[in-house]
Amino acid sequence: MYKLLKIEGRAKRGEFHTPHGIIQTPVFMNVATVAAIKGALSSMDLKDVKCQVALSNTYHLHLRPGDQVIHKLGGLHKFMVWDRPILTDSGGFQVFSLTSLRTIKEEGVYFSSHIDGRKIFMGPEESIQIQSNLGSTIAMAFDECPPYPCDKAYMTASVSRTTRWLKRCQAELRRLNQLDTTVNKNQMLFGINQGGVYKDIRIEHAKEISELNLDGYAIGGLAVGESHEQMYYILEETVPYLPQDKPTYLMGVGTPENILESVERGVDFFDCVLPARNGRHGHVYTNKGKLNLFNAKYELDSSPIDETCTCPTCRNYSKAYIRHLLKAKEMLGMRLCVLHNLYFFNNMMEEIRQALDNNNFAHYKKLKLEGFQEKEEESE
């Protein structure tokens, strides 16, 4: 159940009630691909960096250790020891981006595993069955994520099939939620709006799926190559046609700037691998822009990454120490950067919520964006 607490322009401040607790929105979900955050972070660490929702990947977990294994072990929450909400993606994105020898049919997708090449079939029912085995809080509908660019005829046919798949997902989840063997009998389902940068396809699709009374609605197929301006334009045109009284989730986005701009346009769920990936490469976020800790100027810098930050890393360690660890290829260096970056994102979402609570989002956003301009470092 989604409760809309405040609105400022189109920006939403909400609460999403789930079987695993309440999610305060806008929220940034932290990507635990194979039931762990890359960078040696555990579920205990996720609590330390203020994570509300962990996001895990259906495709990866289906291949390893196998969703049947996780089901036998009592589901993903128990497996990774995380009692807060988990969202699982549908596997669709990975099937379309990681695998080879793909064939898309009405029933689903035939492809080869990126690990051992074995032939796999995944359709809407299979995706939902896997997600049901995992027992995540929120399952995502199985969709096609078309490439960018993509011609309009293909996009129209693809989106139309995605709608048919969505209905099959909904039916399958209803069936599975009634089985005795199901780990989470209250599993929720988010549908996904597609249409690339074609405004009319997006809007038509948004209207169509909004009628299905799903638990939430995602916007997929953005941040795949189009410009930021195109993405913001599509959000402006599409979000008004999605239910305001449901979560609005922009998949795979993005930078702090992207998040601020998208919140303004009515989005309140986000996820992205960027903060963890950047952290593993020594790129860290601050309120004054991104730093590259490999930079020689930090050799003798005894100050934390961000003086104003209260993350586990900044409370303890200096830039000089972290730089040394990164250069010596010590795993701890990556871990400390990832801890900081996830905290930075989760903390920014908290600030956004507070700003919305105080009807102050526009002002907050302006100041924040100005700060980010101060410095932005490239690799050495």
Which of 50, 324 has the CB closer to a second copy? 324
Site of tokens 């009628």: 211
Binding range to a second copy, per CB under 8 A, among 147-155, 244-252, 260-268, 313-321: 313-321
Q: Does residue 114 interact with a second copy by CB under 8 A? A: no
303 near a second copy (CB under 8 A): no
Site size for a second copy, by CB under 8 A? 43
| Catalytic site includes residue 143 | no
Is 151 an active-site residue?
no
Contacts for 201 with CB less than 8 Å, ≥ 6 apart: 152, 155, 156, 159, 194, 195
Burial of 199 (0-12, 13-18, 19+ CB in 10 A): middle
Segment near a second copy (CB under 8 A); pick from 131-139, 258-266, 285-293, 311-319: 311-319
Binding-residue pattern over the window 68 to 97 for a second copy, x denoting contact by CB under 8 A: -x--xxx---xxxx----------------
Q: Look up tokens 């410095």; give the residue.
A: 375
Give the footprint of a second copy on residues 325-364 (CB under 8 A). 325, 327-328, 330-336
* The binder of a second copy chosen from 36, 98, 104, 273 (CB under 8 A): 36
- For residues 37 and 46, the answer to whether their CB atoms sit within 8 Å is yes
Task: Look at strands 108-112 and 119-122 and give their pairing.
Answer: antiparallel
Q: Half-sphere exposure of 180 toward its Cβ, with a 13 Å CA cutoff?
A: 0
In the numeric block, the tokens 């796999």 are attached to 120
Query: Judged by CB, which is closer to a second copy: 267, or 334?
Result: 334
Contacts of residue 50, Cβ cutoff 8 Å, sequence gap at least 6: 343, 346, 347, 350
Decide: is 206 part of the binding site for a second copy (CB under 8 A). Answer: no
311: contact with a second copy by CB under 8 A:
no
Binding test (CB under 8 A) with a second copy, winner from 4, 22, 24, 42: 42
Q: Does 98 bind a second copy (CB under 8 A)?
A: no
The answer to the question of residue 102 lying near a second copy (CB under 8 A) is no
Question: From the candidates 45, 89, 215, 268, which is the catalytic residue?
Answer: 89
Provide, rounded to whole angstroms, the least separation between the CB of residue 317 and a second copy.
6
Residues engaged in binding a second copy (CB under 8 A): 34-44, 60, 64-65, 69, 72-74, 78-81, 299-300, 302, 312, 316-318, 320-321, 323-325, 327-328, 330-336
Q: Which residues are catalytic?
A: 89, 271
